[in-house]
C-alpha cells in the first residue's frame, strides 16, 4: 500500500530528477554495505547481491579500486515491471555503485535519464517511483 502512496505522490507533482543519485559519508566499504542493507530494508528492499569488482582487477595486476556494486530490489517491483512493460526488468534489481576514497564511501545510482525518455504512462511512473525509493534509501544511508 505504501508503494502506491509513493507512486501517487510522484504523479501528483513531485519534482522528477534525471541524473544519478548520490550520497557520501565517512565509512569503510564493509560499513557502507551494512548501512545500505539496513537503509534498503527500511524501504522494504532487500540486498540481492554484492559484486566486488576489485578482486579480479587486482589478480590481473591493477591497483585495488575499492569499488563494489550492490543490487537491491523486491518481488513487488519485479511484478510491477512485468505488468507495466517487460523492458523495465532490465533495470532490476536496482544497482548502486560504492566507491571508497580517502575514508569516505560515495554511493551512486544508475542514471535514469535515458530510461525516462524510453517509457511513458505506468512504466514511466514506476521508474520515477524507483528513483524516489533510491533517493530515500540514500538519504537514510547518509543519516546513519
CATH number at residue 53: 3.30.310.70
Q: How far apart are CA 34 and CA 46, in angstroms?
A: 12
Q: Which domain holds residue 62?
A: 2-8+20-143
Percent of all residues in the chain with a pLDDT value above 70, rounded to a whole number: 87
Instruction: Identify the band that residue 117 occupies on the pLDDT scale cut at 50, 70 and 90.
Output: very high
- pLDDT given at position 29: 95
| 14 found inside a domain | no
| 55 found inside a domain | yes
Instruction: Identify the band that residue 54 occupies on the pLDDT scale cut at 50, 70 and 90.
Output: confident
Number of domains observed in the structure of the chain: 1
| 15 found inside a domain | no
Q: pLDDT for 8-21, tens place per residue?
A: 344 334 444 457 89
Amino acid at each position: 500500500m505504501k508503494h502506491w502512496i509513493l507512486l501517487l505522490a510522484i504523479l501528483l507533482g513531485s519534482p522528477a530528477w534525471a541524473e544519478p543519485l548520490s550520497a557520501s559519508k565517512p565509512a569503510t566499504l564493509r560499513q557502507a554495505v551494512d548501512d545500505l542493507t539496513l537503509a534498503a530494508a527500511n524501504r522494504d528492499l532487500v540486498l540481492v547481491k554484492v559484486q566486488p569488482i576489485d578482486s579480479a582487477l587486482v589478480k590481473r595486476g591493477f591497483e585495488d579500486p575499492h569499488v563494489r556494486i550492490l543490487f537491491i530490489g523486491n518481488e513487488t517491483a519485479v511484478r510491477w515491471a512485468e505488468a507495466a512493460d517487460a523492458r523495465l526488468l532490465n533495470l532490476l534489481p536496482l544497482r548502486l555503485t560504492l566507491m571508497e576514497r580517502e575514508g569516505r564511501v560515495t554511493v551512486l545510482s544508475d542514471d535514469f535519464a535515458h530510461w525516462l525518455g524510453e517509457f511513458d504512462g505506468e512504466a514511466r511512473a514506476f521508474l520515477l517511483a524507483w528513483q524516489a525509493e533510491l533517493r530515500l534509501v540514500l538519504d537514510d544511508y547518509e543519516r546513519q
